[in-house]
Amino acid sequence: MQRLRDEIARRTRLTREQIARAAGVNRRSMSAWVKGDATPSVEKLKRLQILADVVRDIDATEPGRSTEVLLSRSGGLDLLDHIAAGRLTYARAWQSLQEAAPSVTVTHRRSTKRPLHQNALDAYLKGELQPFGRATTIHPESDYQQDLSIAERLMPDEPVRRSRRGYR
């Protein structure tokens, strides 16, 4: 069981949860099978064996594309869903599913719009834009002068400690 699961995982880079989904169980049940704590039914074991056969077949026909083929959707379902639902004829005829499902190619398209900061940068480089300076605030001279006797009333001195805390 472990050898079969690991072979599928190695060839496809599917997660253990995806492999368990194809067998129609959850990841914990698959783990229990591998540890020997539980025994799979004949039907579940057959699904896992068919998945391994399909993976080997895909790998022999289209090397390196087994993950893509298994996870490509046709009619809202991928090949793992067909195996989990017991539609094993679909699984064995994976090439017909591939022909029916159009392949998607992702290309990077450069934007024709200028970045938002580009206009500001151009204006700055031409000398049309000056950095903001901080305006000075002018207070009357009386705000900077204070009578010391008034200051003492506002903030009396703190009492002087003779010793540090914790010491006598």
Does residue 107 fall inside a structural domain?
Answer: no
Task: Give me the phi and psi of 90, to 5 degrees please.
Answer: -65, -40
Which segments of the chain does DSSP mark as H helices, in order? 2-12, 16-23, 27-35, 42-61, 66-71, 79-84, 88-92, 94-100, 118-126, 148-154
Going from the first residue of the chain to its last (168 residues), give the mean pLDDT of each consecutive group of 10, the final group possibly shorter. Answer: 87 90 91 91 90 90 86 82 84 70 62 83 85 73 70 69 65
Does residue 148 fall inside a structural domain?
Answer: no
pLDDT at 71: 85
Does residue 112 fall inside a structural domain?
Answer: no
| Domain ranges, residue 55 | 2-100
Query: Is the model's pTM score more than 0.85?
Result: no
pLDDT at 160: 66
